[in-house]
Structure formats: structure tokens, C-alpha cells
Amino acid sequence: MRGKAVLITGGSRGLGRAMAQGFAEAGADVAIVSRKLDACEAAARELEALGVRAFPYACHVGRWDEIAPMFEAVWAHFGKVDVLVNNAGMSPLYPSLGEVSERLFDAVIGVNLKGPFRLAAVAGERMAAADGGSIINISSTASLSPTPGTAFYGAAKAGLTVLSQAFAAAFAPKVRVNTIVVGPFATDVAEHWPDPPDHARPGFTLAGRRVGLPQDIVTTALYFAADASRYVTGAAVRVDGGGWGMAAVNRTTDG
């Protein structure tokens, strides 16, 4: 990945931070984008210690009018963007489906579907007009087996997988667009699950099953970003430990 410039949304923590680390260790320059600039700056400093360039930028990806200026700022800083990782997401808890507010619904759709659509459109057109690139959308197994607690989050992530296929067709052959469908991972988000993983047990288990560690997503992201996957576009790969972890989550959230 040396000489490549990578833009990661939600890159200051969780899976985004793990991918940023992985890309930097592979030699790529990385733009860290999230809502909180101080968190982006802290992550950027850590990556720069690896000998690569890092660019922190604050952006709320659910806000349409912030997307293009953010992308242009990253492009101007590095002179290009070779890889976009649409990773930012949110899946807040709510007491029941009937108590979901319009504001919460719109916020979840905005961050998980609307924002990634706009960013992929802006990035895809710019990449296609230049030297090409790779767009990686981070979906969820909630798009395949939703629970009552992940209903519209899962719907948004299912939509993101559909967008990947449409964008792959729109920007072929210069820009490849693929999806990573992630299962449960032991990030800070997991601490709010009804039955959170036990960090004291090996492998971070949930209901007796291992859940993913953040670094478990890195090799798949690197594969989709690199020339090794030059004949792969419009694909969706599950990174979920075979679905066992999701079954455990379903059992705990469904009672």
C-alpha cells in the first residue's frame, strides 16, 4: 500500500481505527475522518509515528453538505484518494419499535446510508476521472438477520450493500466497489449490548461464542484495497466468524 492515500470515515475508533492502523502499517497515508476533531488528531499522531502521513478532518457524514468539502480537502492534502472506506455508522438502542422517533430514524439512515451514498458518489466520480481506486463499504450482518433492536439499522446496511453493486457498475472498470459485511466485534459499541462480551475471557466471548477483535477486519480491507483484488468488484464478503457470533447476539437481544 506504499504510495496510496486512504480515506476512512469513523476512523478514530473501533473498526475504523483498526483499519487505519492496518493501512498505515502497510505503508499507506491515511485520512482520519470522524465527528470529533480531537479524536481524529490523536489517531493521526499515532499513525504518523509509523512513518506515514496522516490527515485528521472533522465531518458528520450524515450531513449531505459536509461530504464534498471534506473529500476535496483530503484530495488536496494528499493529491489523490486511492481508497475510500465508508465505515462510519451508528446503531443506537431504543426501547421498542413503536417508540422510535422520526429524528432517530432519520439519523440512523443518514449516517449509515445517505452519507455513504453521497461520499461514494463524490469519490467515485473523482477517482474514475483520475487513476481509479477502490471503495469499500462496511455493512453488517444485521442486514441479513435483523433483530427487533436492529430493524432500521439493518435496513440501512442492506441498502448500502445494494449501493455497492450499483456503484460498481457505474464506475467500472477504473473504480472497484465492494462490501465487507461484519458480524459482532468487541469494540466500544459492544459495551452497550444487552449481554456484552466478557473482556476478561480469551477471545472476547459472547454467550460462549468468540466475537471478532478489531484487527480481524484488517486483512479483508487490505485485500479489497490492493491490486490483489483487481478482478473483484460488486462483491460482499462476510467477516463474522461463520455467523456464530450473530446467533449469540440474536439470542441475547431476542430474549
pLDDT tens-place values along the chain, 255 residues long = 999 999 999 999 999 999 999 999 999 999 999 999 999 999 999 999 999 999 999 999 999 999 999 999 999 999 999 999 999 999 888 999 999 999 999 999 999 999 999 999 999 999 999 999 999 999 998 999 888 999 999 999 999 999 999 999 999 999 999 999 998 876 665 555 555 555 545 555 555 566 778 888 999 999 999 999 999 999 999 998 877 544 444 544 433
First to last CA, the chain: 45
d(Cα 76, Cα 242) in Å, to the nearest integer? 41
Q: Which helix (H) or strand (E) holds 102?
A: helix 102-109
Q: How far apart are CA 31 and CA 119, in angstroms?
A: 14
The domain that holds 176 is classified in CATH as 3.40.50.720
User: Domain tally for the chain?
Assistant: 1
pTM strictly above 0.85: yes
Domain that holds residue 186: 5-253
Q: Which residues are catalytic?
A: 153
Q: Do 252 and 246 meet the contact criterion of CB atoms below 8 Å apart? A: no
- Check if the beta carbon of residue 49 is closer than 8 Å to that of residue 92: no
The C-alpha atoms of residue 5 and residue 37 are separated, in whole angstroms, by 20
